[in-house]
Every structure is written in C-alpha cells, then in structure tokens.
C-alpha cells in the first residue's frame, strides 16, 4: 500500500489540534480520525473510503482529494485563511 499524494495540499483547522496541512490520502485518513463525532456523517465516510481506496489503487488521488474536500467543507473544518476548497461543476 503506497501513499497517494494530492495534487495540491490543503490546510484544515480542527478544534482538537489546530491547523493541519494535508497533502496525501494517508494524511487525510490520519486527520479524519481526529474529527469530532458530529462531523462523521455521510461525507466523512465517503471521504474515508475514497482515501482508503486510493491507497489500494482503486481510486485516483483526485477522487480522494475531492471527497476529502467535500467532507471538510461539510464539517466546517476548512481553514478560511488557507487555499479555498475545490468546487465541483454540476
């Protein structure tokens, strides 16, 4: 199982640990394990699964990052001072 780097790192702000830079699927998984229970909904589960799948070679880094960004945005963990989340086109 190899780590899968994201095309662009992102910075999250978590109450428990403060700001954290996330640059890969493995780091995203580590970060999500520290999210509060209230933030572990459907998007958290989808992001966790996407990052695990990327590590196993079943999904791309882009898919994992997109799912992680969506979960972070939903959980309001995004650092407003950092790079903005990606917006998916409908």
Q: Average pLDDT per run of 10 along the chain, which is 90 residues long?
A: 89 81 96 88 97 97 96 77 45
Q: Tell me the Ramachandran region of residue 76: left when phi exceeds 0, alpha when psi lies from -120 to 50, beta otherwise.
A: left
Residue 13 belongs to what H/E stretch?
strand 5-14
28: helix, strand or coil: helix
Determine the Cα angle at 35 with ends 63 and 16, to 5°: 135
- The whole-model pTM stands at 0.81
Task: Report the pLDDT value the prediction gives residue 82, as an integer from 0 to 100.
Answer: 45
83: helix, strand or coil: coil
Task: Report the pLDDT value the prediction gives residue 90, as an integer from 0 to 100.
Answer: 37
Task: Report the pLDDT value the prediction gives residue 15, as an integer from 0 to 100.
Answer: 75
> Is there a contact between 5 and 23 (Cβ–Cβ < 8 Å)?
yes
């Amino acid at each position: 199982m190899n780590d899968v780097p994201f095309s662009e790192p992102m910075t999250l702000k978590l109450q428990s640990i403060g700001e954290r830079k996330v640059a890969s699927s493995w780091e995203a998984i580590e970060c999500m394990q520290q999210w509060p229970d209230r933030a572990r909904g459907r998007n958290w589960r989808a992001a966790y699964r996407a990052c695990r799948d990327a590590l196993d070679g079943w999904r791309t880094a882009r898919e994992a990052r997109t799912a992680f960004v969506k979960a972070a945005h939903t959980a309001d963990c995004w650092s407003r001072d950092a790079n903005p989340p990606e917006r998916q086109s409908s």
